[in-house]
Structures are given as C-alpha cells and as structure tokens.
Structure 1
Amino acid sequence: MSAQAERPLLEIRGVSAFYGKIQALRDVDMTVNRGEIVTMIGANGAGKSTLMMTIFGRPRARTGRIIFDGTDITGMPAHEIARMGLAQSPEGRRIFPRMTVMENLQMGAALADPEYFDEDLRRVFELFPVLEKRQNQRGGTLSGGEQQMLAIARALMARPRFLLLDEPSLGLAPLLVKQIFDVIRELNEEEKLTVFLVEQNAFHALKLAH
C-alpha cells in the first residue's frame, strides 16, 4: 500500500478559531480517512458549521493545523483549497437565486477541467433528475428541496475528492431527506467519494456514517 493511501485524507490538529474576540472552536482534533463518511452531530451553536468553514479558511484557524492529503492548507485562500479537490455545500444552500439551474452548475464547474463538463452534467442529472427538467429555471424559484439538490450538484460539478455537506436535511420533508441521503450513500459507494457531513438529523446521519 502506498504512503498516500495510508495517510488520512484530512487531519485537523489542535485547531482553534474565533469570530472577533469570541472563541468558536478550541483545540479541535479530527481525522478523516479516504472513502469514509464522517458525521458530526450536535445542537445549534456547538461549532459544527464553524469547523466546516474553518477547513475552507473562513474564518482562518488561529491555532493548529489543517492538513489535506499531506499538504498544510491552514490559512490557504479558499479558491486554492477548492483547487486541491475540496468542495462544500454550505448551510442555507446559498445558491445563486437569479441564475438558472444550468448557470449555477456552470459556476460549480469553474475550477474543474472543462473536458469533463458534459460527463459531470449527465452524472448530476442522473442523481437529481428534477434538475434536468428545471435547468432553464432560476434557482430562486425552486422549492427548498430542489435548491438543496442544486447546492449539492453544484459542489459535485467541481469533481471533488472530499465533499463537505452542512445540514443537507434542514427544513426538508422526510421523503426528500431520504432521497438526498441515498444520493450521498451512492456517491460514496460507487465513486469512493469521501464525505464530511454536519447534521442535526442524528437518525439519518448515523446510519450513513462509516
């Protein structure tokens, strides 16, 4: 087995982060290995989303180190972190509401190799068929569940090795929650995509984690 295959994909060592003078994270340690789905559950205000944002440098870690695939990314600009193969679907979806579904997906693919765009587009439409039907519709006119699908699909268009999902079930009906979690499981099983999931829905999250 190669050294690359043996080492963790993500290591967080003693990370602390602040919003102004308020400490949001204190001495956090975490390891994510290749092919895992790691789930972090907890109440609002516990720092789950802050940890995910800190991995992307917003806010920057005040102390400690964040290492991705052997490279120290602590303090690295977010666009450089994204180029290394990390993609995020943030809390609240944060799609571009005035852009069409297709334009949102094109934005997600901005850092990926254009050669794979058509292939990746077919893949996300297979995972989320409703997005193909809505591809010329503005993102802001989609339902909450459709917007969540679009947020995840946009992240997938970046061809990530490591996908960060923040509260993907928030505010969704149980049937949609199951559909989205089934997609996450499929991506992990078929494409060996490593996933870090922040979630309050402990039932679904713990079933998914491994």
Structure 2
Amino acid sequence: MTVTRTTPRTAAGTDHCDRLLAALRTFRAEQVATAQRWGAQLAATLSAGGRLLAAGNGGSAAQAQHLTAELVGRYREDRAPFSAIALHADTSSCTAIVNDYGPDELFARQVRAHARPGDVLILLSTSGASRNLLAAAAAGRAAAADVWSLTGPAPNPLAEAGDRRLCVAADSTANVQELHLVAVHLMCAAFDAALDTLP
C-alpha cells in the first residue's frame, strides 16, 4: 500500500481552496444579485453622463483599477468607453496630497475635486476600517455622490458609511479579495447586459 503524505505547503494550499469554496458558496447564495444590480445601476448612471470613482488600498486598489479598466476599455464585447477613474492611479496627485494634507486625505480630496451629484463612488476594503476610505465616503456623501462599499465581513465602519454595501463573508483577506474580483466581473457582465436595455 502506498501512503501519500501531504506536505505543509500542500495542506496550506488545500486549506486556502477549501475556505475559498465555502465563501464562494455563501457569496453565490447571498451576494450575486447585489453585484448584478450594481452593474445595471452603473450602466444607467454612466450612460446618462455620470462617472465612476473607485478607490482602495493595496490589493483593493488593484481591484478598483481592474473595475475602471473594464469600463473605460471593455469587458467582453466591444462597446463605447465610459468614464471611470481609479483614484490611486495618479501618482503625482496622490503623493502631493499625502505630503501636503496627510494620508487620511488621499482619496477624500480627489473625491471633492471630481465627484458630482449622481456619480458613483465605490470604495473597496477587506477590513472596512481604512481611515482614508472612510474620509472618502464622507466626501462622497457631501458631494451628493452615491457611495458604494465593497468590503469584507460585516459589520464594519465602511459598510455603514456607504449608501449601498456588499459585504463578503470570508475568513481571510485573500479570500475576500478573490471574491471581490468575482463581484467586479459580475458587475461588468451586468453592466454590459444592461446597456442593451437602456433607451
């Protein structure tokens, strides 16, 4: 009889996948419809001349930029570009703001510059506790933008600060980020589908 021994590295990988699958099942049951509604609302807002502002820190910044890239470029099929800005991507503005006003103002100052009534501000955070994102949410509400919070498990401060929330129930930061990417892709697919139904 052959005995297969699982190395610690293999066990860690299997455990990660098991946790992701469990979180994905919950996400599929509870959050898919929310992500699709967000995509359809984005299509209506951006088609009417509004814009999307997106922000996050670290891996969440990458997710925010992934979303804006799909909207300015395309997700699957060719279509018109739409206005979507990842607020961390302008390095000169970011470094100047942090230097002159402090890190908590990193996104809020840009929101005050760019957000208009009816625009969408989507803030991504695994913890839901980042002070610069909470400041951005407050600036978005003051600008009469629609503030959406895409976070890890609820409750958390950013979820409470948004007008809409999608909170991913996952045990690890990595799994939250992986499911945020699923949410981003669902939003993009719903965005494109909704464009065909708009007048």
Q: With structure 2 as the length reference, what TM-score do the two structures score?
A: 0.32
Structure with higher strand content: 1
- Judging by fraction of residues, say which structure has more helix: 2
**Rg larger for:** 2
